[in-house]
Amino acid sequence: MTIIEEVDERLQNRQTEEALEIIQNHLKKYPNDKQVLFKHYEVLLSFNRLPHARNVLNKMVKLFPDDKEVRSRLLMLTEIMRFEEKDIYASTNLNNDPWLD
């Protein structure tokens, strides 16, 4: 069983913390494992741990600077986080509307 299959099995059994622990232990031994880094990003993203997911992508950009998929995912996640940070209901001022940027 591969590390990815083991993580997927834990996630299917709703053992989220165990899945993350498996990933983190593997990355301690093999910090440049691209496939496991992507899985780490996907697991963090699925549980809405956006800042941590962005940290994983930032690390991947440093490790794999020519990978266009990593860069595009980082841009997409940064944009999502930017919209989440804006509180459009805090003011009736339309200048705060993120859709008008």
d(CA 83, CA 97): 10
Residue 17 parent element (H or E): helix 16-29
Please give the tally of structural domains in the chain.
1
Total-model pTM: 0.79
The tokens describing 97, both together, are: 């509307």
Which whole number is the average pLDDT over 17-39?
93
Give residue-wise pLDDT tens across range 60-101: 999 999 999 999 999 999 998 888 777 656 555 556 655 655
Domain with 69 in it: 3-85
CB atoms within 10 A of CB 80: 14
Residue found under tokens 């834990």: 10
* Residue 100 domain-assigned (yes or no): no
* Residue 95 domain-assigned (yes or no): no
CATH number for 45: 1.25.40.10
* Residue 92 domain-assigned (yes or no): no
d(CA 13, CA 27): 22
